[in-house]
Structure 1
Amino acid sequence: MATQRPPEPPTPPPGPGGGSPEEPLSEAAVIAMHSDPRFLALKKSLFSFVFPMSLAFMAWYLLYVLMSAFGRDVMGTVLFGSVNVALVFGILQFVSTFGIAILYTGYARRKLDGPATALRDELQNGTTGKEGNR
C-alpha cells in the first residue's frame, strides 16, 4: 500500500519587492527601520489614536463598574419592560468596543497602511530611507 503525501500548501505571491509579504526583514533592515524618521512618524501617529481611545474606553468601562458597585439604584432603574439602565450600559460596552474597532480600521487605512507598506517594501528590498533618497 503506497502512502500519499499531503499536498503542498500554495506559495504566497511575491510582494512588490520580490519577496513574500511574510518574509522577515534582515537584522540590518530592522535596525535601520528603528531610526528612520518615517517609522518614528508612524509610531507617533499610531500612539496618537491608540492612547486617547484607550483612556476614553477605560474611563467608560470604569464608570460602568463604579455605577454597578455604588450606583445600584440608578443602574436598577427600569427603562421599559424588564430592561434597566445596567443592561443598556452593558450592551453599550459591546457597541463602543465595535465602534472603536471600526474607527481604528478607518484610521489605519487613511494614516498608517500606505506609509507602513511603503516603508516595509523599501526595507525588504535592502534599501533604507537615507539610501533611497539619494
Structure 2
Amino acid sequence: MATDKRTKDPTPPDGNGGDEPIKDAAYVAMHSDPRFIELKRRLYRFIFPMSLAFMAWYLLYVLMSAFGRDIMGVDLVGNVNVALVFGILQFVSTFGIAVLYTRYANRNFDQTAAELREELQNGANATAEEANR
C-alpha cells in the first residue's frame, strides 16, 4: 500500500539512517545562530549578483535575437554566425558559473556548514537552547 506523502512526519532525519529525528526546536534555534546568518549572507552575496549578471547576459541574447537580426546574422567563420557564438557562450557561461560557485562554496562556507550540521545531528543546539530557558 502506498503512503501519502502529506501524512509523513515533517521532521528531517538526522543523517544517521533516520534513527533519531532532529527536534524542530534545534532547527529554529539554528536560524538565529550568528554562523548560520553569516552563511546565508555569504550565499546571497554570490547568488544575487551572479543571477543578475546571468539574466542580463541572457536578456541581451534574447533582445539581440529579436531586434538585432542584422548583427546576429553576421557570418564570422564559414556558416558560424554571431547568433551561434552567443548561443554557445550561454552554455559556457552557465558551466562557468557552476565552477565559480563550487570554488566559492568550498572556500567560504563548506567548513562552517559542516560544523553546524554536526551540531544539529549531535543535539548541541538543543542542549544550548535548554540552558537558555
The TM-score, its normalising length taken from structure 2, stands at 0.79
With over 3 angstroms needed to count, the CA separation of the structure-2 counterparts of 1:129 and 1:75, relative to structure 1, is: farther
Structure 2 counterpart of 1:111, which letter? N
| Structure 2 residue 84 is matched with structure 1 residue 87 | yes
Shift of residue 112 of structure 1?
1.2
With over 3 angstroms needed to count, the CA separation of the structure-2 counterparts of 1:22 and 1:51, relative to structure 1, is: farther
The match for 1:16 is: none
The match for 1:114 is: 111
Q: Does structure 2 conserve the Cα–Cα contact (< 8 Å) formed by 1:77 and 1:84? A: yes
With over 3 angstroms needed to count, the CA separation of the structure-2 counterparts of 1:38 and 1:85, relative to structure 1, is: same
Root mean square deviation of aligned Cα? 2.0
Count, aligned residues: 114
Q: Which structure 2 residue ranges, 5 or more long, are not aligned?
A: 1-13, 129-133
The match for 2:65 is: 68
Q: Which structure 1 residue ranges, 5 or more long, are not aligned?
A: 1-18
Q: Does structure 2 conserve the Cα–Cα contact (< 8 Å) formed by 1:29 and 1:124? A: no
With over 3 angstroms needed to count, the CA separation of the structure-2 counterparts of 1:110 and 1:58, relative to structure 1, is: same
The match for 1:20 is: 15
Higher relative contact order (CA 8 A, sep 6+): 1
With over 3 angstroms needed to count, the CA separation of the structure-2 counterparts of 1:129 and 1:41, relative to structure 1, is: farther
Shift of residue 20 of structure 1?
3.2
With over 3 angstroms needed to count, the CA separation of the structure-2 counterparts of 1:22 and 1:87, relative to structure 1, is: farther
Shift of residue 130 of structure 1?
9.2
The TM-score, its normalising length taken from structure 1, stands at 0.79
Distance in 2, Cα, partners of 1:99 & 1:22:
35
Identity among equivalent positions (%) equals 67
Whichever structure has more helix as a proportion of its residues is 2
